[in-house]
């Protein structure tokens, strides 16, 4: 073994890649139905965009960024998430008038130790609902992610929901939380002790400190009237939309730009430490952080790698409508002509290009997952081919002009 994919990356090859194609199609189709237009941004950006946007002392910025200097001396970073880039692109385009609904799809990069459902390059699908402060926007975005998982047949998904309030609510809460953590400091882990002053909310997430966290004051108990009202409206909307959710009082998210509503999707049967397959939140402060006009927004990110791991194994459907088999070498041009004609008619057709025995060609047809085989041989002189249904083994002669309808039978 000479070369391998770099640590934390992997290759996707057929036939497994078919599920990736499906995941992308379903996402883009759903986005279209909900009115989200595609946004494409570079995979690398100025490093400062992420340190400003995501937050200087978040885990992601502190130690997970792929940062490099280009030949012009610029500090660039492979994007660790999508939202900062999308917001930057909108500010660059002159800001948002009214509302803007965008979706995006592509690889993200974080330098971490790989484990199940966690890689250094991973594929993420995002939607962003920008310019709308009303709780209905939160509900729509949460619903979108939930429906996406349903359409991909991910079983038993739970929505975990919380509100972390606005900046003002959080600073009051923060002081109280620090006081509480100090009162039980001898029970805390080293990590928690290190974090409790610069990022106390993060301690709520710590598995090692779950005993202390269980009695900790929660963000939801410290919401302003407006934030509490917003949260209540979001919950109401979810109930009306028939989306099951659970309040998760200790759910906080690791990116600094979030406020108010935050949530995650957890498939309960997914056996992995990294069990959240998607998440999102409201990020009203982000436009200003990045130098734009104040603009309310909500968005979500779905982790495709994890979704495909959590998914029910779908049985493989035939991936070709027919395989054309050449039984008489002098008919080669007729056979390739037939292949070309059927492909042109929108059918999925393949054939062996070189000289192989009929037996080998049938084998190739089977391996390719073809539903039917069309044999081009002496019967061509009578204006037909031998057509075989590879699943049942039934076989008959079909006239050339009937082939298309026979394949679509």
Which residues of this protein are in contact with RNA, per CB under 7 A?
1, 4, 6-8, 10, 58-60, 64, 81, 110, 112-119, 122, 124, 191, 195, 202, 205-208, 252-255, 264, 272-279, 301-303, 305-306, 327-328, 357-360, 362-363, 365-367, 373, 375, 377-379, 386, 388, 390-393, 395
* Residue 139 beta carbon to RNA: minimum distance, rounded to whole angstroms: 18
Identify which of residues 17 and 357 has a Cβ nearer to RNA in the complex.
Answer: 357
93: Cα separation from own chain's centroid: 26
How far is Cα 100 from Cα 50, in angstroms, rounded to an integer?
Answer: 22
First and final C-alpha spacing in the chain: 47
Identify which of residues 287 and 323 has a Cβ nearer to RNA in the complex.
Answer: 323
* Residue 229 beta carbon to RNA: minimum distance, rounded to whole angstroms: 25
Dihedral over Cα of 95, 97, 99, 100: its sign: negative
* Residue 346 beta carbon to RNA: minimum distance, rounded to whole angstroms: 23
Q: Which residues of 182-214 are buried (b: 16+ CB within 10 A; e: fewer)?
A: eeeeeebeeebeebbeebbbbbbbbeebeebbe
Q: What six digits make up the tokens of 320?
A: 């070709």
Identify which of residues 95 and 174 has a Cβ nearer to RNA in the complex.
Answer: 174
Identify which of residues 224 and 316 has a Cβ nearer to RNA in the complex.
Answer: 316
How far is Cα 100 from Cα 36, in angstroms, rounded to an integer?
Answer: 8
* Residue 204 beta carbon to RNA: minimum distance, rounded to whole angstroms: 9
Identify which of residues 178 and 328 has a Cβ nearer to RNA in the complex.
Answer: 328
- The residue ranges of DSSP E strands in 164-293, in sequence order, are 245-247, 259-267, 278-282
How far is Cα 250 from Cα 201, in angstroms, rounded to an integer?
Answer: 9
- Kind and range of the H or E run holding 205: none
* Residue 5 beta carbon to RNA: minimum distance, rounded to whole angstroms: 7
* Residue 327 beta carbon to RNA: minimum distance, rounded to whole angstroms: 4
User: Which one, of 49, 51, 46, 99, lies nearest residue 73 by Cα?
Assistant: 46
* Residue 120 beta carbon to RNA: minimum distance, rounded to whole angstroms: 8
Identify which of residues 58 and 85 has a Cβ nearer to RNA in the complex.
Answer: 58
How far is Cα 47 from Cα 75, in angstroms, rounded to an integer?
Answer: 6
Identify which of residues 134 and 143 has a Cβ nearer to RNA in the complex.
Answer: 143
Residues across the chain:
409
Edge-first strand order for the sheet with 44-46 is 44-46, 75-78, 66-69
Identify which of residues 250 and 295 has a Cβ nearer to RNA in the complex.
Answer: 250
* Residue 97 beta carbon to RNA: minimum distance, rounded to whole angstroms: 28
How far is Cα 166 from Cα 183, in angstroms, rounded to an integer?
Answer: 26
Identify which of residues 62 and 226 has a Cβ nearer to RNA in the complex.
Answer: 62
Q: What values do phi and psi take at 148, rounded to 5?
A: -60, -45
* Residue 73 beta carbon to RNA: minimum distance, rounded to whole angstroms: 26
Number of neighbours of residue 309 by Cβ within 10 angstroms: 17
């Amino acid at each position: 073994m000479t070369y391998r994919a770099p640590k934390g990356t992997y290759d996707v090859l057929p036939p497994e890649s078919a599920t990736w194609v499906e995941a992308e199609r379903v996402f883009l189709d759903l986005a279209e139905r909900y009115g989200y237009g595609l946004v494409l941004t570079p995979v690398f950006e100025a490093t400062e965009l992420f340190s400003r946007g995501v937050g200087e002392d978040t885990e992601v910025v502190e130690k997970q960024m792929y940062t490099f200097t280009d030949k012009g001396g610029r500090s660039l970073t492979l994007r660790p998430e999508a939202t900062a880039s999308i917001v930057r692109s909108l500010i660059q385009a002159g800001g948002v008038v009214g509302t803007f609904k965008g979706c995006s799809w592509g690889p993200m990069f974080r330098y971490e130790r790989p484990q199940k459902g966690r890689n250094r390059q991973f594929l993420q699908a995002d939607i962003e609902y920008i310019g709308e402060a009303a709780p209905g926007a939160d509900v729509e975005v949460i619903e979108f992610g939930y429906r996406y998982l349903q359409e991909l047949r991910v079983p038993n998904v739970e929505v975990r929901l919380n509100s972390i309030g606005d900046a003002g609510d959080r600073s009051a809460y923060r002081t109280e939380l620090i006081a509480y953590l100090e009162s039980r400091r001898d029970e805390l882990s080293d990590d928690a002790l290190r974090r409790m002053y610069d990022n106390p909310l993060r301690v709520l997430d710590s598995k090692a400190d779950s005993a202390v966290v269980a009695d900790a004051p929660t963000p939801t108990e410290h919401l302003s009237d407006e934030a509490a009202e917003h949260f209540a409206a979001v919950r109401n909307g979810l109930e009306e939309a028939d989306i099951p959710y659970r309040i998760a009082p200790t759910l906080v998210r690791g990116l600094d730009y979030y406020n108010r509503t935050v949530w995650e999707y957890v498939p309960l049967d997914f056996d992995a430490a990294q069990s959240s397959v998607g998440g999102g939140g409201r990020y009203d402060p982000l436009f200003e952080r990045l130098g734009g006009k104040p603009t309310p927004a909500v968005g979500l990110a779905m982790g495709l790698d994890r979704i495909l791991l959590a998914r029910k194994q779908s049985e493989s459907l035939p991936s070709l409508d027919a395989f054309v088999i050449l039984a008489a070498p002098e008919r080669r041009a007729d056979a390739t002509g037939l292949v070309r004609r059927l492909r042109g008619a929108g059918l999925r057709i393949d054939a062996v290009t070189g000289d192989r025995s009929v037996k080998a060609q049938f084998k190739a047809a089977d391996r390719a997952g073809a539903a039917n085989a069309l044999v081009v041989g002496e019967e061509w002189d009578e204006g037909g081919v031998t057509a075989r249904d590879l699943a049942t083994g039934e076989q008959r002669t079909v006239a050339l002009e009937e082939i298309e309808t026979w394949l679509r039978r």
